[in-house]
Chain A
Amino acid sequence: MKDADFSGCDALHLYFDGELDTVESLAFEKHLETCAQCRADLAEFQQIRVDIQAALSRAGASQGLRSRLDDALDAEERPVNPRRWDWRRLAVAAAVVAMVSSGSTYFLEQPSEEALWTQGVVLSHERAMLSGHEIDVVSSNRHTVKPWFNGKTTVAPLVPDLSDAGFPLVGGRLDVPIDRAMPAIIYQIGPHVLSLYMQPASGESAPSLKKVDGFSVLSWKQFGFAFTAVTDADGAEAGKFQKAFTEKAATMP
């Protein structure tokens, strides 16, 4: 947060909320050493945060709301008369909800994070292909593609040149598969296109292949990233790409 100059005690909340940059944080930590009031406040605010996150009551969506929403969205979607609602069905649903929710227990059913992620990347790859906007920066030169992401995302992508292995670089785009912007690097793979999503992650894992809606989705962890490749090429081709990518990336500085 930069629109005013906060120092000393004034920076307490900014520091506590992670809104200061490194230099400002260090300056505040210096201030902390000499200010007992800030130290005491900080400890108490931290305790309040922990307590809120551990013990504050939460409400979640009931099954009733979920099915009412489904019905309402179906009604919205009907192309013939998109504004018409099926009030009678809604009324029945509402009555059922009223009966069920008086029991006060509700269930949360959510797909796993991994399933959501896979669904998210396939959709954004598909969307990019359909809209014809698959590329934000068109270049076969990795020295053009990589810097394009500067300032657009905090993730600095790995962009090896794989043309020797038969996978020419097509370009890159900024994509938001779930709720966070990240780079997708686009390679050509025979007559097909492959989007490679990357986000920082620790550890290593061997590639695992999934088939989703006719797309090959290959995920692995290496070099401090979690990679997910989405392509309409088949799994074997995706596997070859993954091998070439890993070999080349390993030799990069």
Chain B
Amino acid sequence: MPEEQEQTGEQRRRFQALVLPHLDDAVNFAWWLAGNRADAEDIVQEAMLRAYKYFDRFNGERARPWLLTIVRNTCATWMQRNRPRALVLVSDARDEAELEAGRQDESVPSPEVQSEHRELGRAIDRAVSALPTEFREVILLREVEELSYKEIAHVLDVPIGTVMSRLARARKLLQARLKEAVG
């Protein structure tokens, strides 16, 4: 028994060193998928416990893509369980008030920069929010998480060619929407 305890202690420490540093990324990803903070944290808590349970299957890959894969899968089952289909569509867009609250917290150097930054931030937030989920997730994994095509393909469980075509489509959509916002 002492040996077993030592092993779980070791597992916990490894988990804390390898996986826990990516908790913020997990929450951010879930937030952009689920649309609000409370759900995102519920999803991530469930995902982290799953990750911990399956930690013995983790071998040598990068921990962040591995965790994001679990977050995404957990998110999918969570949505099926907790949100009727019709509601998904409505709440799919991020909560404007919540985005605004998040924005207030940011510390930006000067008021002018800040207001310009906010303006831009709003436009970007809206454009990304408006993307259909399959395009939004690929943009987040590439531009925010900076994963490679191979890693994204693994997270989404699709061929690499699909990653490329979705990214191309997503960028076209963002391009069009942002032009609209400026013009």
Spell out A's residues near B (CB within 8 Å): 1, 3-4, 12-14, 17-19, 41, 44-45, 48-49, 51-62, 64-66, 68-69, 72-73, 76-77, 79, 97, 101, 104-105, 108, 110, 116, 119-120, 123, 126-127, 130, 174, 176, 178-181
Q: Contacts A13-B167, A52-B143, A76-B52 known; A60 to B117 CB distance under 8 Å?
A: no
CB < 8 Å neighbour of B161 from A4, A55, A108, A116: A4
Q: How many residues of B contact A (CB 8 A)?
A: 63
CB-based contact A59/B37 at 8 Å: yes
Question: How far is it, in angstroms, between the C-alpha of A217 and the C-alpha of B94 when the chains are bound?
Answer: 46
CB-based contact B124/A55 at 8 Å: yes
CB-based contact A56/B64 at 8 Å: no
Q: Which residue of A lies closest to B159 (CB)?
A: A3
CB-based contact A45/B14 at 8 Å: no
For A49, list chain B residues within 8 Å (CB).
Answer: 143
For B143, list chain A residues within 8 Å (CB).
Answer: 48-49, 52-53
> Which 8 pairs from chain A and chain B are nearest by CB?
A59-B31, A55-B121, A60-B24, A179-B62, A61-B23, A179-B63, A61-B27, A52-B143
For A48, list chain B residues within 8 Å (CB).
Answer: 143, 171, 174-175, 178
Instruction: Tell me whether B70 is interfacial, beta carbon within 8 Å.
Output: no
The contact sample of 23 A-B pairs, CB cut-off 8 A, is A14-B164, A52-B124, A52-B128, A53-B144, A54-B120, A55-B117, A55-B124, A55-B125, A57-B121, A59-B27, A59-B28, A60-B27, A60-B28, A64-B41, A65-B45, A68-B45, A79-B5, A101-B38, A120-B17, A130-B10, A176-B18, A176-B62, A179-B22
Instruction: Tell me whether B180 is interfacial, beta carbon within 8 Å.
Output: no
Question: How far is it, in angstroms, between the C-alpha of A59 and the C-alpha of B61 when the chains are bound?
Answer: 25
Smallest beta-carbon distance B144→chain A, Å: 7
Q: Which residue of A lies closest to B122 (CB)?
A: A55
Q: Which residue of B lies closest to A77 (CB)?
A: B8
- The binding surface of chain B is classed by DSSP as helix
For A181, list chain B residues within 8 Å (CB).
Answer: 60
Q: Which residue of B lies closest to A98 (CB)?
A: B38
Smallest beta-carbon distance B86→chain A, Å: 25
For A61, list chain B residues within 8 Å (CB).
Answer: 23-24, 26-27, 41, 44
CB-based contact A110/B102 at 8 Å: no
Between A3, A52, A61, A110, the greatest number of chain B beta carbons within 10 A of the residue's beta carbon is seen for A61
Q: Which residue of B lies closest to A180 (CB)?
A: B62
Question: How far is it, in angstroms, between the C-alpha of A130 and the C-alpha of B174 when the chains are bound?
Answer: 51
Instruction: Tell me whether B168 is interfacial, beta carbon within 8 Å.
Output: yes
Smallest beta-carbon distance B59→chain A, Å: 9
Q: Contacts A56-B124, A59-B37 known; A72 to B49 CB distance under 8 Å?
A: yes
Q: What per-residue 1/0 map shows which CB atoms of B10-33 lie under 8 Å from chain A?
A: 101111011001111011100100
CB-based contact B17/A69 at 8 Å: no
Question: How far is it, in angstroms, between the C-alpha of A221 and the C-alpha of B12 when the chains are bound?
Answer: 31
CB < 8 Å neighbour of A72 from B31, B40, B45: B45
Smallest beta-carbon distance B48→chain A, Å: 6
Q: What per-residue 1/0 map shows which CB atoms of B57-79 lie under 8 Å from chain A?
A: 00011111000000000000000
Question: How far is it, in angstroms, between the C-alpha of A79 and the C-alpha of B10 when the chains are bound?
Answer: 13
Question: How far is it, in angstroms, between the C-alpha of A19 and the C-alpha of B1 when the chains are bound?
Answer: 49
For A18, list chain B residues within 8 Å (CB).
Answer: 148
Question: How far is it, in angstroms, between the C-alpha of A3 and the C-alpha of B164 when the chains are bound?
Answer: 12
CB-based contact A44/B149 at 8 Å: no
For A119, list chain B residues within 8 Å (CB).
Answer: 17
Question: How far is it, in angstroms, between the C-alpha of A104 and the C-alpha of B37 when the chains are bound?
Answer: 10
